[in-house]
Amino acid sequence: MPPRLTAHDFDQELLILFDAYVHGDLDRRGFLGQAQRFAKAGMTAAGLLAALSPNFAAAQQVPPDDKRLKAERVAVPSPAGNGSINGYLVRPASAGTGRLPAVLVVHENRGLNPHIEDIARRVALDGFMAFAPDALTPLGGYPGDEDKARAEFAKLDQGKTREDFLAATAWLRARADGNGKLGVVGFCYGGGMAHWLATRLPDLQAAVPFYGNSPPPEEAARVKAPLQVHLAAVDERINAAWPAYEAALKAAGARVEVHHYPGTQHGFNNDTTPRYDAAAAQQVWARTVAFFKTHLA
């Protein structure tokens, strides 16, 4: 098996192009056209895109049929006129019906893909009840293709999507097999959603945004939950707005700890792509689990 590619195997400008493509600022044709100048040694622009794109099977850490877990597909009533929002609920099998702290797991801008399901299983193995909703439910759910998922995601009514996530938090907190305490962790788009939920849920116990868009500074005074924020080193799109929001949080007396990871790219915790940084991911996950255990136990 050839060695796994890392961010160091790619030109930084190409990684920035890929980030723009992933977040909808550049379409596939635009990416391929601009990436062509980085094609070399027999690697085409299409080959570069394939090399940078997720490989879910290779990165899976916890199999879906892991006997240590009890996983199920559930539907949560939607107040936004969507009927319901589907999701993936995972608990440690050893907990039985015992009451556990709950963690809402919020995906990136592609819906509930196999990587986020794997993340939910990891959260459950660390002793929590994890619930990962699929914001793409109104459009048929995650389509099994990242390009299609990204295109569908852009069609969502974000006002209704936010209502669905609020409904998911209420449903999760109210479960009889929960201990009444709730945290949220989110990645990229989900990191932004974790920030937003912290401004809307005064009784949220903990929020952990991974490289997510921060709310306007005037929203910081509404944050009551402790925040643990994780930021990549090379991530201008996210990092540019962070200092103003961090200052507003501190001025409002919010409990916030911020961690920067030298040498990392946006998405460094996502082990399905070459942007993954194993050392930083290990560190960030240990911090995340410890934070939830402190505030949700």
28-35 and 45-52 are packed helices; what angle lies between their axes, rounded to 10 degrees?
120
Token reading at 161:
């999507």
On the question of pLDDT at 272 being above 60, the answer is yes
Q: Which long-range contacts (CB under 8 A, 24 or more apart) does 174-179 make?
A: 175/102, 175/129, 176/97, 176/99, 177/91, 177/95, 177/97, 177/98, 177/99, 177/100, 177/129, 178/99, 178/100, 178/101, 178/102, 178/129, 179/99, 179/100, 179/101, 179/102, 179/296
* Burial of 29 (C-beta count, 10 Å sphere; 0-12/13-18/19+): exposed
Give the three-state DSSP class for 220: helix
pLDDT tens string 11-24? 999 999 999 999 88
The model's pLDDT over 210-234, given as tens digits with 9 standing for 90+, comes to 999 999 999 999 999 999 999 999 9
Domains and CATH numbers, the chain: 7-53 (no CATH), 58-296 (3.40.50.1820)
pLDDT exceeds cutoff 80 at 38: yes
How confident is the model over 166-185, as pLDDT tens digits? 999 999 999 999 999 999 99
**Sheet with 100-106, edge to edge strand ranges:** 69-77, 84-92, 129-133, 100-106, 178-187, 206-210, 227-234, 256-265
Contact 135, 104 (CB under 8 A): no
Q: CA 26, CA 13: separation in Å to the nearest integer? A: 14
Mean pLDDT, residues 139-151: 95
Q: Give the separation between CA 220 and CA 274, rounded to whole angstroms.
A: 34
Query: How far is Cα 295 from Cα 182, in angstroms, rounded to an integer?
Result: 9
* pTM of the predicted protein model: 0.95
Instruction: Please tell me what DSSP assigns to residue 289.
Output: H
Residues 131 and 104 sit within 8 Å (Cβ to Cβ): yes
Q: Which residue has the higher pLDDT, 44 or 82?
A: 44
pLDDT at 1: 43
Q: pLDDT band at 2, cuts 50/70/90?
A: low
Contact between 133 and 120 (Cβ < 8 Å) = no
pLDDT attached to residue 41:
63
pLDDT band at 133 (very low <50, low <70, confident <90, very high): very high
Give me the helices (H) in the chain, please: 12-22, 28-35, 45-52, 56-59, 114-125, 146-153, 158-174, 189-200, 236-239, 242-251, 278-296
Q: Looking at residue 5, what is its pLDDT?
A: 81
The two structure tokens encoding residue 229: 């924020």
The answer to whether the beta carbons of residues 256 and 246 sit under 8 Å apart is yes
Confidence of residue 73 (pLDDT cuts 50, 70, 90): very high
